[in-house]
Each structure stands twice: as C-alpha cells, then as structure tokens.
Amino acid sequence: MSTITNKATLAAGCFWGVEAYFKLVKGVISTKVGYTGGTKENPTYKEVCTGKTGHAEAIEVTFDPNVVSFERLLHHFWKMHDPTSLNKQGGDVGTQYRSAIFFHDEEQKVAALRSKEELHKQIVTQIVPAATFWDAEEYHQDYLTKNPGGYCHVDLSKATN
C-alpha cells in the first residue's frame, strides 16, 4: 500500500533553518532546499545571492496529508518566521529571503489566503502560484545536519506538532 503525498513550497528566509524545522514536523516525509519564483533557469546559489534572479530561497516539503494537513504546515510556517518583515529574516537581508507561499493548487491557495487573514497582522508574505523549483547545490541539502552549529535564524524548539 503506497502513501499518498502532497507537496508544499515555502520561503521563510535562509532555507537551512526552514528545512531543519520542517524535518521535525510529524507527517513530513522529505524536504529539499532550492530556488523558486525567479526568472533565470537553473540558478546557482551565488547568482541567487545577488538578488538579480528574482528567486527566493525556498523549501519543498513532501508530506503525508493523512498525518499532517497543509493547514497545519501553514500553522508552522507562520510561527517559525516573521511574516511582517519585508525581505529580511534574522541577519539575512534581500529579496531572496522573502516570505512566500507558493501554492500548488486552488485548495492550497484558499487555505493560504484564509490563514493569512486569520493572523490579523500586517503580513508581507507573498501567496503566488508555484513555479519551477530548482534544487540547490548538494552542500545546501540538509545543511544543518551536516554542519551542527551552523547559522540558523529559526527557533527549532517551536517545531512541536
């Protein structure tokens, strides 16, 4: 019997901490970090860091909707970063660190818009259709596991289900 999976694509600052956080959420099957929302095909980290490609550092989450709903992932998304901060999370500044939800279907779009409204804050998070997701270089994948003590703007203790 195969598990049904869905994808969520989220940007909330430096993707290292965002990935480490979502790996702790029950029902998340896998994660990968990469770049999305820009204009250049197959961008590199160095290119994205210039801010000229239009990409955001993002995470693609594969999850089991029978264990964790997209709405629950959004709950985690909102609490693990500052969605009121324009193009800045922690010490990282630039459009590549923007807050964004890249929805994969109408259901995700509606859920994202509803959850944003419920916060009653001045949210700057973009809610836009998912675009091509370009995998980041291998050394970025699972970075904080490979480099314990590496930079992370995310409080991983908030990743309780």
Whichever domain contains 116, its CATH number is 3.30.1060.10
Q: What does the alpha-carbon distance between residue 5 and residue 96 come to, in Å, rounded to a whole number?
A: 27
Q: Which helix (H) or strand (E) holds 128?
A: strand 126-129
pLDDT by residue (tens digit) across 83-138? 999 999 999 999 999 999 999 999 999 999 999 999 988 999 999 999 999 999 99
Q: Given this model, what pLDDT does residue 108 score? A: 98
What the block records as the tokens of 65 is 């909707």
User: Residue 143 is inside which H or E element, if any?
Assistant: helix 143-146
As a whole number, the mean pLDDT across the chain is 94
| Residue 1 maps to a domain | no
> Could you give the residue numbers annotated as active site?
14
Residue 65 belongs to domain spanning = 6-158
3-state SS record for 53-92: CCCEEEEEEEECCCCCCHHHHHHHHHHHCCCCCCCEECCE
Is the C-alpha dihedral spanning 29, 89, 141, 131 positive or negative? positive
Percent of the chain topping pLDDT 70: 98
Q: Which residues contact 98 (CB under 8 A, 6 or more apart)?
A: 11, 56, 86, 87, 124, 126
Residue 154 pLDDT grade (very low, low, confident, very high; cuts 50, 70, 90): confident
| Count of CB atoms situated within 10 Å of the CB of 105 | 13
Q: With 70 as the cut, is the pLDDT of residue 145 above it? A: yes
User: 14 lies in a domain?
Assistant: yes
- Please name which of 33, 118, 117, 109 lies closest in space to residue 43, comparing C-alpha atoms: 33
Note the pLDDT of residue 159: 80
pLDDT exceeds cutoff 70 at 1: no
pLDDT at 120: 80
Q: What pLDDT, on a 0 to 100 scale, did the predictor assign at position 12? A: 97
* The total number of structural domains that make up the chain: 1
pLDDT by residue (tens digit) across 40-52? 999 999 999 999 9
First to last CA, the chain: 26
- pLDDT tens track for 100-110: 999 999 999 99
Closest among 90, 102, 93 to 34, alpha carbons compared: 102
Angle, CA of 107, 57 and 55, to the nearest 5°: 85
